[in-house]
Amino acid sequence: MSQASTVDLLAELVAFDTTSHRSNLPLIAFIESYLTRHGVSSRRVLNATGGKANLYATIGPVDRSGVMLSGHTDTVPVTGQAWQFEPFQLTAEGERLYGRGTADMKGFLAAVLAAVPAMVKADLAVPIHLAFSHDEEVGCLGVRSLIADLARYPQQPVACVVGEPTSMRLATAHKGKLAVRLHVRGKACHSGMAPEGVNAIHAAARLVAWVEDKATEKARLGPFDERFAIPHTTLQVGTIQGGAALNIVPQDCQLDLEIRNVPEDDPEAMLEELMNLVAEWQSEMRRVHADTSIRLERLSDYPDLSMADDDALVAFILALLDDRTRERIGYGTEGGLFQRELGIPTLVCGPGSMAQGHQPDEFVTRDQLARCDAFLARLITALESAEARQCLTTGSLLVG
């Protein structure tokens, strides 16, 4: 059986339109078939409707825990973007390989799949687990059912590398995110009788002002983590909608806000502070009219990821990379969920740059894929070692 190259497999993966609003099952079926051809069994973890799935597989000894290589299969939309190249067809232009998901993050998935024959052939002392998820781009939603499934099994991974695009540099931390929607219900009336109504936009403005004040406070007082490009928690209102006409006191207003917190900060405490104020403002509104409210809707959230720079896993993975830089990234990943929900030490490292992710004419370079291929080859060799087998007895597969 001839071995498919990473670029060949990337072309196959890009051809599947796995935008988050679509099913990823055709791509999952392709990966299942590919793994089966190499003697690797896998299991699907379906979503509630059965229209999407996560996929999990183990290569190597099944009676012990190993290293998990994790990535999401969905992509962001191309709608409204001006693409020079066909987004769902891999196009090579010199060093660059264009297509939706090439950087974020089908390039990593392709490299992992290309390495499967070597994984199968290797005498692994420590298994390699493959975890491919859905609906990461809409709030890290799909991986949660995979995490719940993994929690039922005694053999869980003891380490994880999430292959989001970091230009093959090791990321040890990222911020968390909490996104909510606030629905303000006021009381409409003619604007000439404004005091008899409850202006929903005015109430929403108080919410906006709180967000701006809290953002300023965080920038001034912290907590700070100088390893991030923006070293403090940020808050912002991203959308706001309300009102029907200038001569009508608006009855409804809706706004979306997000908190992106450094690991040292607590977004839930900030949200609780806001909702205590909301309770006071709602009481004021109801003194004018009883049928008014401010209602909270949680949109999405994922926890921050934080690994100490001197952690043994950091040293282990750094030794397998060409670039020994450690960094902290400004975007979120599923890694925080693996760390928080399952206690799996997790790092982020993958080919390509997020500067190209989500953009028209998204691309990854051949050099980046080659660097990922080399990293995976070194990982396979490291997990064959007698040292790795010995370290399993202590519950860690890492050597000094």
User: What pLDDT score does 154 carry?
Assistant: 82
Nearby residues of 360 by Cβ (< 8 Å), 6 or more positions away: 78, 81, 82, 83, 84
| Contact yes or no for 252/242 (Cβ under 8 A) | yes
The pLDDT tens digits for 136-173 are 999 999 999 999 999 998 888 999 999 999 999 999 99
Token pair 């996104």: residue: 179
288 burial level (CB within 10 Å; 0-12, 13-18, 19+): middle
Q: Is the pLDDT of residue 342 over 90?
A: yes
For 218, the enclosing helix (H) or strand (E) is helix 200-221
User: What pLDDT score does 310 carry?
Assistant: 87
User: What pLDDT score does 60 carry?
Assistant: 95
The pLDDT tens digits for 187-197 are 999 999 999 99
CA atoms within 13 A on the CB side of 362: 29
The pLDDT tens digits for 255-301 are 999 999 999 999 999 999 999 999 999 999 999 999 999 999 999 99
Q: Is the pLDDT of residue 232 over 70?
A: yes
Q: Is the pLDDT of residue 3 over 90?
A: no
User: What pLDDT score does 309 carry?
Assistant: 87
Q: In the structure, what pLDDT confidence band is assigned to residue 386 with cuts at 50, 70 and 90?
A: low
Q: How many other C-beta atoms lie within 10 A of the C-beta of residue 191?
A: 14
Q: What's the whole-number average pLDDT of the chain? A: 94
The pLDDT tens digits for 169-228 are 999 999 999 999 999 999 999 999 999 999 999 999 999 999 999 999 999 999 999 988
Q: Is the pLDDT of residue 389 over 70?
A: no
CA atoms within 13 A on the CB side of 31: 32
- Phi–psi pair at 263, nearest 5 degrees: -55, -25
Q: Is the pLDDT of residue 393 over 70?
A: no
User: What pLDDT score does 392 carry?
Assistant: 47
Q: In the structure, what pLDDT confidence band is assigned to residue 391 with cuts at 50, 70 and 90?
A: low
Q: Which listed residue (32, 74, 258, 265) is catalytic?
A: 74
From CA 286, how far away is CA 190, in angstroms rounded? Answer: 19
| Contact yes or no for 361/98 (Cβ under 8 A) | yes
Q: Is the pLDDT of residue 362 over 80?
A: yes
Concerning whether 74 is annotated as a catalytic residue, the answer is yes
| Contact yes or no for 261/175 (Cβ under 8 A) | yes
User: What pLDDT score does 4 carry?
Assistant: 81
Percent of the chain with pLDDT over 90: 90
SS3 for 92-124 is EECCEEECCCHHHHHHHHHHHHHHHHHHHHCCC
Arithmetic mean of pLDDT, 90-102: 97
Q: Is the pLDDT of residue 91 over 60?
A: yes
| Contact yes or no for 104/46 (Cβ under 8 A) | no
- Phi–psi pair at 233, nearest 5 degrees: -65, 140
Mutual orientation of helices 107-121 and 25-37 as an angle, nearest 10°?
Answer: 20
Q: What angle do CA 128, 134, 137 make, to 5 degrees?
A: 115
Q: Which listed residue (136, 225, 258, 265) is catalytic?
A: 136
User: What pLDDT score does 227 carry?
Assistant: 85
Concerning whether 341 is annotated as a catalytic residue, the answer is no
Q: Is the pLDDT of residue 330 over 90?
A: no
Residue burial 91-105, b: 16+ Cβ < 10 Å; e: rest: beeeebbbbbbbbbb
User: What pLDDT score does 127 carry?
Assistant: 95
